[in-house]
Chain A
């Protein structure tokens, strides 16, 4: 299978129903995306496919032939990550990769960083540590910069 991951063309030999999440973690050693629930409820495995936020545990390898995939490793390090650290938006870390990918997508959209808009953008990414307030604050802090 041929696809582009974080801007690099990759070829992997995998079964068609192998989950994109497992292709990333096992075949490409990109272990940023995490398996939380394996059923599309938690968002820990979120990545962008052709610019859209998806749960990589629900995508079959065969379905990303020719696609552009961006994982948390492909998101430039900068204000987004430092604001998560400064505001306490990253604690145990399991949800963080998915949160960063979802927040990156939101910030790119140029939408106003109201409480409601940020919460809608990160909805589907479950966090058991922060109570979400610190994550929302972090995203809003990036938007203000």
Chain B
């Protein structure tokens, strides 16, 4: 029975690291549960779970602060907290805005930014924005802490650079004065939909950054499109070299490619 899988609820980062250092086989980390519990209820991938580390009540993984030129966001920060945070609203309002578009209130109260990253869905709503912002992911465990650029974190379909004894602890977003982040989520309706297309852009200061979701096995930096936009090349053609959309129940590959390009052109205006 699935519910009999042992669970350890850590109350501090040290307790969480203790579980990680024992490396129980089939260890999975549980945060807000909005993806994990839904998969459990649907019996998706549950046969590989041997032990669950619940981090929901680890205080060190919460909180938002601006320090040393970065907006530092604890991995357990919920979408509701991102929507309300004065630090986020004043320094990276696009992150508040995208959080408002993730599910409805009950999901926003429970879903976390760290969970969105670690679930590593190509349709993860916040991920193109984190890529465009050149976020750094602070991962840690019993062996210490390291910082991973977000565009090196997603290795393949739902595969990440997290080690077996590592946790995502914090997301650091550089604050470049004059830079503006914008994004667009395209779904079946205006609210509460799973994305069909996601595009994020950083412009105004620092190098131009373009990222997209739902158009490949992972959320992607679009480097050809960035070069074309900066050097005046054919943007649509360049973008098609960056992305690899597929047909699925939500949209066709042709739709995804065309709409991603259309949205990108508007965001670059």
Chain A residues with a Cβ under 8 A of chain B: 15-19, 38-41, 43, 46, 52-55, 57-60, 62-63, 65, 102, 120-121, 123-125
Contact = CB atoms under 8 A, between A and B. Distances in A.
Contacts of A121: 105
B14 interface: no
A57 B6 CA distance: 18
B192 A63 contact: no
A40 B9 contact: no
B37 A59 contact: yes
Nearest to B4: A15
B47 to A, nearest CB: 14
Interface stretch (B38-46, B122-130, B223-231, B252-260): B38-46
Contacts of B1: 15
B30 interface: yes
Contact of A15 (B3, B42, B109, B192): B3
A58 B4 contact: no
Contacts of A40: 34, 37-38, 103, 106-107
Contact of B105 (A19, A63, A65, A120): A120
A17 B43 CA distance: 13
B111 to A, nearest CB: 9
B195 to A, nearest CB: 15
Contacts of A54: 106, 109-110
B41 A16 contact: no
A60 B42 CA distance: 15
30 contacts: A15-B5, A16-B5, A16-B7, A16-B52, A17-B40, A19-B41, A38-B38, A39-B42, A40-B38, A40-B106, A43-B106, A46-B106, A52-B109, A53-B106, A54-B109, A55-B107, A58-B32, A58-B33, A58-B34, A59-B33, A59-B110, A60-B30, A65-B9, A120-B105, A123-B191, A123-B192, A124-B104, A124-B105, A124-B106, A124-B107
B2 interface: yes
A54 B103 CA distance: 12
Given A15-B7, A19-B3, A124-B103, 9 more contacts: A38-B42, A54-B109, A55-B106, A62-B7, A62-B9, A65-B9, A102-B106, A123-B104, A124-B104
A40 B191 CA distance: 15
Most central of A17, A40, A125 by chain B CB within 10 Å: A17
A17 B192 contact: no
A124 B40 CA distance: 20
Interface string B25-62: 00000101110011011100000000010101100000
Interface string B233-258: 00000000000000000000000000
Interface in B184-198: 191-192
A125 B103 CA distance: 11
Contacts of A52: 80, 109
A38 B2 CA distance: 15
A16 B54 contact: yes
A62 B10 CA distance: 10
Contact of A60 (B38, B54, B103): B54
A17 B42 contact: no
Contacts of B6: 16
B42 A124 contact: no
A118 to B, nearest CB: 12
3 nearest A-B residue pairs (beta carbon)? A124-B104, A16-B7, A123-B104
Nearest to A39: B38
Given A40-B106, A120-B105, A17 B34 contact: no
B124 to A, nearest CB: 15
